[in-house]
C-alpha cells in the first residue's frame, strides 16, 4: 500500500460518517485490505 493510499484512507476515516452502519462496514473493509496487504508484502 502506497503512502497516498494510506493518506486517502485516513482522510476517509476522518470524514463524518454517512451512517454508523456504513462507516463500520467501510472501516472493516479498509482494515481487511490493510491486513491482507501487510501479510502479502511481509511489511
pLDDT tens readout for residues 1-24:
688 888 888 777 766 656 556 667
Q: For position 19, what pLDDT does the model report?
A: 57
- Burial of residue 23 (number of CB atoms within 10 Å: 0-12, 13-18, 19+): middle
- Return phi, psi of residue 18, to 5°: -65, -45
- Return phi, psi of residue 4, to 5°: -60, -45
pTM over 0.75: no
Domain ranges of the chain: 3-37
Give the whole-angstrom CA distance, residue 22 versus residue 26.
6
Give the whole-angstrom CA distance, residue 42 versus residue 21.
31
Residues in the chain: 43
Amino acid at each position: 500500500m502506497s503512502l497516498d493510499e494510506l493518506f486517502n484512507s485516513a482522510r476517509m476515516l476522518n470524514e463524518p460518517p454517512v451512517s454508523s452502519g456504513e462507516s463500520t462496514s467501510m472501516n472493516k473493509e479498509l482494515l481487511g485490505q490493510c491486513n491482507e496487504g501487510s501479510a502479502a508484502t511481509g511489511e
